[in-house]
């Protein structure tokens, strides 16, 4: 474990997405002098357009057993739930090989246990931050519904649900009558569902993330809008960050939390981290006119419907593996409209917008949380589709480690050196 920082020590957090914001806030509340550094406005990159979920039941990694036989389909169907742009295959190949290695049954069992350890404390970690920030009015604790068309489709998913139950996820199966009782607008096509009561969501992920940022400033945190060029090393340890406009910013510790853009610092220190973009799309429908109570997931087509304020909807999901700078394929956003209509009926597309973001993905689905071999350098990256979900927990774990307190769970699975 890295040596503790003294009370009041200076920490720079690079990256003002929701993970960086939550980490900066947790560290500031613990008494550190914290500077949050980003080249853009807070929460305006990937955190702006996520699906708004605290996905506490997502304990099974993306690399499930049997995933190898699915790869050809990913390459042939550009609009499928998980698509791979074949022209980027040469650069994605190392990540894919590690992804396939992570799908071995024994490894999946280990990864599921590690994800469950993180996700099992999400609501408690967030509750304190949300109370501190006064954001309780945005936090909807109504659970979620995962929909299935038939008994056969539900039965096929049952082993995964039972695995989740063994890892502490409480859920209940619903037939058509019970589903209508929970969410009456769901179309006749959907006959079964699973409800996870502990699942929750926020009305607007951007507003929520900015709310955390605002309380960080209110508590005495500092934000610097500038580009971080490289970390600065003095006497064998990282002692600050070199920026494009403000020169050298000094600190006792530097936390890298800039998502898929963390690769700059990975390469600087010659670490081997297979970080790639897990690109996600959304359609925002502020005037949809559909009042939903629950966050809805469509199991067979891997997309979600987020109920937003005043009858608005956000349709999000699917995974596209491609370089972060590849042009968006907006068909992947627009195809969600017809999928959603089959669930909730017709809705208004007035003032509709589409969006694409680069989620920082590691092949084993686990984030990196903790110190680097280089003293003074810490990482909080690679959260994939669980960035919003794990932001408060990531910040709490970093806070404990920087204070020299043993975290409440084993941090070995999330270490940088596992690659």
Q: Tell me: the pLDDT tens digits for 202-251?
A: 999 999 999 999 999 999 999 999 999 999 999 999 999 999 999 999 99
Cβ neighbours for 376, distance < 8 A, ≥ 6 positions apart: 237, 238, 239, 251, 252, 253, 254
**Between these two residues, 82 and 385, which has the higher pLDDT value?**
385
Distance between CA atoms of residues 315 and 297, nearest Å? 10
Mean pLDDT within 379-388: 96
The reported pLDDT for the residue numbered 382 is 97
CA-nearest of 26, 54, 201 to 121 is 54
Alpha helix ranges (H) inside 232-373? 263-268, 331-344
In angstroms and rounded to an integer, the radius of gyration of the C-alpha atoms of the chain is 21
Contact 133, 215 (CB under 8 A): yes
On the question of pLDDT at 53 being above 90, the answer is yes
Summarised one tens digit per residue, pLDDT across range 274-326 is 999 999 999 999 999 999 999 999 988 889 999 998 899 999 987 888 889 99
Q: Which residue has the tokens 């680097």?
A: 372
Band of residue 101 on the pLDDT scale cut at 50, 70, 90? very high
The reported pLDDT for the residue numbered 310 is 87
3-state secondary structure (DSSP) of residue 129: helix
Q: Is the entire prediction scored with pTM above 0.85?
A: yes
How many whole angstroms from its chain centre is CA 213? 17
The reported pLDDT for the residue numbered 74 is 65
3-state secondary structure (DSSP) of residue 85: coil
Instruction: Quote the mean pLDDT of the chain.
Output: 94
CA-nearest of 101, 148, 129, 178 to 18 is 129
Contact 363, 92 (CB under 8 A): no
Share of the chain above pLDDT 70, in %: 98
Band of residue 64 on the pLDDT scale cut at 50, 70, 90? confident
Q: Which tokens hold the place of 263?
A: 């690769």
Contact 18, 43 (CB under 8 A): yes
The reported pLDDT for the residue numbered 75 is 64
């Amino acid at each position: 474990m890295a040596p503790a920082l003294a009370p009041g020590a200076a920490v720079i957090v690079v990256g003002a997405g929701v993970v960086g914001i939550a980490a900066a806030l947790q560290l500031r509340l613990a008494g550190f002098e914290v500077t949050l550094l980003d080249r853009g406005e807070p929460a305006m990159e990937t955190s702006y357009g996520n699906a708004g979920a605290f996905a506490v039941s997502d304990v099974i990694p993306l690399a499930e057993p049997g995933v190898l036989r699915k790869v050809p389909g990913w390459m042939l169907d550009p609009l499928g739930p998980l698509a791979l742009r074949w022209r980027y295959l040469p650069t994605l190949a190392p990540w894919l090989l590690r992804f396939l290695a992570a799908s071995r049954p024994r490894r999946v069992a280990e990864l599921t246990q590690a994800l469950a350890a993180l996700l099992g404390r999400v609501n408690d970690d967030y509750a304190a931050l949300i109370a501190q920030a006064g954001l309780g009015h945005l936090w909807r604790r109504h659970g979620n519904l995962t929909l299935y068309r038939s008994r056969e489709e539900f039965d096929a998913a049952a082993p995964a649900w039972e695995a989740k139950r063994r890892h502490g996820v409480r859920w209940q199966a619903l037939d058509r009558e019970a589903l209508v009782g929970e969410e009456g607008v769901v179309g006749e096509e959907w006959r079964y569902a699973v409800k996870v009561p502990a699942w929750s969501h926020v009305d607007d992920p951007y507003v929520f993330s900015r709310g955390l940022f605002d309380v960080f400033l209110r508590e005495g945190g500092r934000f610097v809008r500038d580009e971080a060029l490289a970390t600065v090393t003095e006497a064998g340890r990282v002692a600050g960050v070199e920026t494009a406009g403000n020169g050298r910013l000094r600190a006792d510790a530097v936390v890298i939390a800039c998502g898929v853009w963390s690769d700059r610092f990975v390469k600087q220190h010659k670490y081997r981290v297979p970080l790639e973009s897990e690109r996600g799309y959304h359609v925002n429908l502020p005037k949809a006119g559909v009042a939903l109570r629950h966050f809805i997931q469509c199991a067979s087509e891997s997309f979600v419907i987020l109920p937003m304020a005043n009858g608005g909807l956000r349709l999000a999901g699917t995974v596209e593996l491609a370089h972060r700078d590849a042009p968006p394929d907006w068909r992947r956003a627009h195809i969600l409209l017809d999928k959603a209509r089959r669930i909730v009926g017709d809705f208004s597309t007035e003032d509709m917008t589409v969006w694409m973001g680069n989620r920082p993905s590691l092949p084993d689905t686990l984030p990196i949380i903790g110190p680097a071999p280089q003293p003074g350098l810490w990482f909080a990256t690679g959260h994939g589709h669980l960035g919003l979900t794990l932001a408060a927990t990531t910040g709490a774990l970093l806070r404990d480690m920087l204070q020299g307190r043993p975290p409440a769970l084993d941090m070995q699975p999330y270490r940088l050196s596992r690659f």
